[in-house]
Every structure is written in structure tokens, then in C-alpha cells.
Amino acid sequence: MADFPKIDLILSPTPLHRLPRLSDQLGLDLWIKRDDLTGFAFGGNKGRKLEYLIGEAVAQRAEVVVTCGSAQSNFVRQLAAACSIAGIRFAAAVMPLPYEFEEASGGLAAEGGNLLLDQILGADIRLLPNDTWESLYDSAAKLADEYRKSGKNVYEIPIGGSTPQGAYAFYQAGKELQSQADPFNMIVVASSSGSTQTGLTAAYKGTATVVQGIACDPEPDMPDEFVALAAKLDELTDLNLNLKRDDFAFNLDYVGPGYGVPSEGGMAAIRTLAQTEGIFLDPIYSGKAFHGLLDLAANGKLPKRVCFWHTGGTPALFAMPN
């Protein structure tokens, strides 16, 4: 299958359980996969890919791991914790998000939430003024060079950790779900940088289960990125996926004002799940995905047996401007 280095970080399998009240209200057999309960740093699906990314960093005897992201990045928070577990220094270049909005427009506050947790974890966080994606990537590269010049062995991870190893982690996650329950007609999951939907789609290739990604980023060409990521995974494994764009179910209707900006529908969905089942979602990813699920259900566009994949991210609730 694959020979990627790996360390143990998460508690797996993560729980899978039915949502009885919402099932009754929506007329579905609705279940939830709890990757918000992966077991460290407030949980989240990023822990799955970090088992492989930090595994490779350890194998390469890295002394410092460097990445970049938003000030409220769930990936940065979990990566900071994973580095603490592995005994590796962690540094990240971050900017408030969204870039094209000011905080007053509804974006998350830079301070508190995930950024506070990064600081508690002892991470070297360089909080920069808002600028372009390219400037953020350049800042991360300069940060890595800074550590190299000091004599450190640096392992760089791209934003969001969307690598073939990350996609492979979610291929394995899909197999985990298959071992937990009878087949679902559909899995609904937040979709952004790509490794989660790519891996899950790979795991369910050739089955009757649809992996429905709900976009959190207003980029209609993201499925092309998923195809490219799957091709890289094919190069490194014997999975022979040969995934095409049409293999990816990708819905752009629930992004709201933009990436990194909470939406009215997403916030309503957060309240709905909290008030019916006592489970919290986040305002940037899982809340928007659950909004999509609720709206599709209300319009008769969901099959009978559905699993919602909770990707975590709840610390971002504590960075809401209001």
C-alpha cells in the first residue's frame, strides 16, 4: 500500500454515532463521525495527516517544523501540539484572515482562540499584517531560512498539510469508517485544501457511497487540485486510483461571504446541532458544511442514510468578533 513514516497521535477509531433527534426532524438516518474527538489539542481531523507528516519529520531528524496559515488556523494549532508531543520546535508565519476583509466585516479576530492555544504550546508564531497568499508563503520560506542559518535541520510543511501523505491518511480514515458501520449512501464533509476529500473519495471509489464535499473556499477549480493530489498519491503508492474531476462531488453554494468569514447559514447550523444534539461545530468549516447538509435535506436532495464527518475546529468559536 504505502511506506510512509508514521507516529501515533490520535485516538482511533474516532466515535461514530447516530443523531436521533435530527434524524427524526429531517426524515433521515443521520450519523456523525467525530473527528473533533481525535484526542489532543481540542481534536480535529488534521491529527490524521499529522501522524504521517510528523512521522516523516522525525524520520528526517528535524529539529524545527515550519509552516504558514491564518492566525486562527486549526492546522497550525494541531501541528503545534503534534510538535510538542514529538519534541520538535515549531514555528509558523500567520496572518489574520480573510485577507480581503477587515475584522469588522465578520472575519475572526486574530487574537484568542487557536492563536492563544499556539502560544500556550510554546510555538514561535510570527503574526504578520494582512497581505497576499504569496507574501504569506514567502514569509514562511524566510522563517525556515532563518532557522537553517542558525544551524537547525528544518522540515517545511505546506499550508494546510495538503500532501500525498495527508490524502493517504484520509484514505485510511475512510476505511476506518467502513469498518464501523453498514454503508452510507452519502458522506458530507467540509472541503478546502483538499487532502480530506481526496482521501475519502479514494477510499470510497467503486462503492455506491458519495463523498459530498461542501466548499469552504470560493474556488470552483478546487477539484482540479484534488485530481492532482490523487495523482501524486498514485505515484507513491500502489492504490492505482486514477481519480478524475467527475469523481469529486463538490458544492460551492454554502461558502457565504468568503473563505474565513462565518456565514449566517453556517452560524444557524451551529446553533441547530448544538441545541438538538449538544455538539458544537466551527464557523469556518464544519458549520458551513452542516448548513449544506441541512439545506440539501430540506430540499429533498439527500439520500436516506447519511454520515456527517465532523472535522473539528471548535476553538475558532472563541475568536468570533461578536
CATH number at residue 154: 3.40.50.1100
Q: What domain range is 169 assigned to?
A: 16-45+164-319
Give me 122's grid cell: 510554546
How many angstroms separate the CA atoms of 322 and 314, rounded?
Answer: 16
Domain end (from 161, 192, 212)? 161
Q: How far is CA 252 from CA 101, 164, 204, 212, 293, in A?
A: 20, 24, 21, 11, 13
Same domain, 74 and 155: yes
B/e letters for 130-143, b = 16+ CB within 10 Å, e = fewer, are beeeeebeebbeeb
Residue 2 included in any domain: no
Question: What would you report as the CA-atom Rg of the chain, rounded to the nearest whole angstrom?
Answer: 19
Which pLDDT does position 308 carry in this prediction?
Answer: 99
DSSP state string for 305-316: EEEEEE---GGG
Q: pLDDT digits over 228-247, tens only?
A: 999 999 999 999 999 999 99
Same domain, 27 and 173: yes
Same domain, 71 and 122: yes
Q: How confident is the model at residue 110 (pLDDT cuts 50, 70, 90)?
A: confident
User: For the chain, what is the total number of helices (H) and then of strands (E)?
Assistant: 10, 10
Same domain, 267 and 312: yes
17 bridge partner residues = 32
Same domain, 20 and 80: no
Residue 287 included in any domain: yes
Residue 11 included in any domain: no
Does pLDDT of 278 surpass 60? yes
Domain end (from 132, 161, 190)? 161
Residue 293 included in any domain: yes
Domain end (from 161, 179, 211)? 161
Instruction: Specify whether the backbone of 17 is left (phi greater than 0), alpha (psi in -120 to 50) or beta.
Output: beta
Exposed/middle/buried for 1, CB within 10 Å: 0-12, 13-18, 19+? exposed
Same domain, 168 and 81: no
**pTM of the model as a whole:** 0.94
Which pLDDT does position 322 carry in this prediction?
Answer: 63
- Which positions are catalytic? 73
Same domain, 139 and 287: no
Q: Considering the chain, what percentage of its residues have pLDDT values greater than 90?
A: 86
Residue with cell 475512510: 174
Residue 35 included in any domain: yes
Residue 206 included in any domain: yes
Which pLDDT does position 106 carry in this prediction?
Answer: 59
Which pLDDT does position 112 carry in this prediction?
Answer: 87
Q: pLDDT digits over 113-122, tens only?
A: 999 999 999 9
Does pLDDT of 105 surpass 60? no
Same domain, 187 and 41: yes
Instruction: Check: CB of residue 44 under 8 Å from CB of residue 68.
Output: no
Same domain, 95 and 191: no
Q: Considering the chain, what percentage of its residues have pLDDT values greater than 70?
A: 96
Residue 168 included in any domain: yes
Task: Look at the chain and report how many structural domains it folds into.
Answer: 2
Q: How confident is the model at residue 1 (pLDDT cuts 50, 70, 90)?
A: low
